[in-house]
Structure 1
């Protein structure tokens, strides 16, 4: 348990830019290799103001379960892993609460760049009423996306202000089904995630001229209702967002962090912007190989070796 929790913490904190010996020169078709890599969304890591309060909200009102929890009193922070199912099959959330603020951590600020998480439910009306009865914030009442439409959704806020979109759908393999990021150039962002991360555009780009935004869903697989996706959102005429220090990063599994980062990501970053902030290589004393980079909008992605991740889950 200790090793796996340290592994989680290393994903939650800012990763140090360490030099790593590169492997042999990557093949010319590395971007084609990315499209065929075995990738899966592992977790999103966020910072919270009160871990107990957040866990209560996510378990009692959103239906999640506590998968692990650990206190680090000597470092004044606590962590928890929470989700709808096992870490080896589902997308989950990693939570961190800092007990003491200092100049490096500062007060929790969500910023405007991260938009929301998405959760599917079979009883959206009951869920919304439970949240309302407990004093929760409902920012959008349940209703169709368009007048007369069949897709029913609502928006609620957790105690820290993180927004959750609730979607009325039949049971799916991934109830925590998407995260939405605000971007300034949606075509560039789609290009980045397709080429650097091997994702696919799962639905045609949707323009909502009335509410002044455009969205695109990218991810792995073929059916956006049965898998996890990243929703990229362009708000008309908005050219800048604040990152804050709440949302940290998304972690994705890969068969080879060296091909993924040293070759594929490096090539795409040079063309579209972004930055490799942790070259591919093993984490000291844990032996897990990872790499980390920023996309063209400054959002962080951590790629984790699939075999290493599976070994740490078994150790728990």
Structure 2
């Protein structure tokens, strides 16, 4: 029986489907009311040579279609792992931009890298960190005109800063009027010396005593409702590596460290699961993490395939042409992927 397929570029619609191996190709079913679309999606993509070419053949069996989908998933997994990804910055809202900049520069030793004011949208951004944005993980503060307070919520945990001497850093913070919520001392069940402080808006920072590191701004901790689900998602959709896990039954929580490089050299995502807690109030203060990628379009496909939700379809931003895509993880935490080349052009 003759089967007709028409190959087009474009968006998906009710009459066709995106080919799993070549997601840029749309397979439109011309006259096959009795053939399930899932069987057609398994058709050999090498027969689809160019737009407007028609191919004939018998539809693949259900098993063959499943095998083709599995192969495409494997290809996408490999691409995600090979993609040049790096955590670029973390975005959150503050009530007094000058006050926060003063605290981060004087107490935490950060540098103000740049500011941008967008009066037509009534907000200002400030970027701070320990090195240039093209090679370091940095903070993007957002001040919305006239808003001086936000709800941090219970889902956000803390940021991590690696310092040479925790005790001296705490002394400086106290001298500047900062709030210390945990005095310096060894972490429970370990040897690493830590302390906890709060910035003027109530964001918690963990100070970790380490030797010299290329990335002092080293952690973002978020709470999740299903740790195994989150680990699987960030491995498959984000291409992160599970660096380590640590269970603390005495205090009823488990953590998983995930990232694109070792903890001592790069920023990581610390996921925390508190026994029996499946949902958290996220408030309206913490916004998102931005991650660099070579292809926002393939990234969006991977996020969709492996359990995430796309909240902004991939494409260029109006005005600056930087390509991005935005998504939510299974717990609703937002991330934005930014085209690597476009990001560097933006910095210029």
TM range (shorter): 0.7 to 0.9
SS of the equivalent of 1:192 reads helix
Map 1:53-92 to 2 at 5 A: 53-92=99-138
1:225 aligned residue: 264
Which one of 161, 164, 175 corresponds to residue 133 of structure 1? 175
- C-alpha root-mean-square deviation of aligned residues, in Å? 1.8
Give the paired residue count. 283
1:283–1:77 CA distance, 2 compared to 1 (3 A) = closer
- Tell me, in whole angstroms, the C-alpha distance in 2 between the residues paired with 1:228 and 1:152: 19
Q: Deviations over 1:55-98 (max 9, x none)?
A: 01100000000001233445432221111110000000001111
- The Cα offsets for residues 229-252 of structure 1, whole Å up to 9 and x where unpaired, read as 100000112222111111100000
- SS at the partner of 1:125? helix
Q: Distance in 2 between matches of 1:163 and 1:299?
A: 18
Post-superposition offset of 1:124: 1.0
1:143 paired with 2:185, answer yes
1:202 and 2:246 matched: no
Return closer, same or farther for 1:209/1:257 CA change in 2, 3 Å cut-off: same
Which of these residues, 290, 295, 304, is aligned with residue 266 of structure 1? 304
Tell me the residue number matched to 2:317.
Answer: 283
| Alignment partner, residue 212 of structure 1 | 252
Runs of 4+ in structure 1 deviating by more than 6 angstroms, as ranges, are: none
Q: Which sections of structure 2, spanning at least 5 residues, go unmatched?
A: 1-9, 13-22, 26-68
Q: Does the C-alpha gap of structure 1 residues 169 and 275 become closer, same or farther in structure 2, counting only changes over 3 Å?
A: same
Q: 1 CA distance for matches of 2:345 and 2:204?
A: 33
Q: What is the CA–CA distance in structure 2 between the aligned matches of 1:42 and 1:71, rounded to whole Å?
A: 20
Greater RCO structure (CA 8 Å; 6+ sep)? 1
Relative distance call for 1:281 and 1:76 in structure 2 (3 A) is closer
Conserved 8 A contact 2:185-2:193: yes
Paired with 1:96 and 1:74, the residues of 2 have a C-alpha distance of 15
Matches within 5 A, 1:128-207: 128-146=170-188, 149-203=190-244, 205-207=245-247
**Aligned equivalents of 1:117, 1:171: Cα separation in 2:** 18
SS state of the match for residue 237, structure 2?
A: helix
- Other-structure match for 2:151: 109
Instruction: Give how far 1:286 is off.
Output: 1.6
Query: Which residue of 2 is the match for residue 24 of structure 1?
Result: 24
| Rg larger in structure | 2
1 CA distance for matches of 2:346 and 2:11?
A: 24
Q: Matched residues in 1 for 2:97 and 2:138: separation?
A: 16
Q: Quick one: distance in 2 between partners of 1:76 and 1:199?
A: 35
For 2:121 and 2:210, the matched residues in 1 are separated by 42
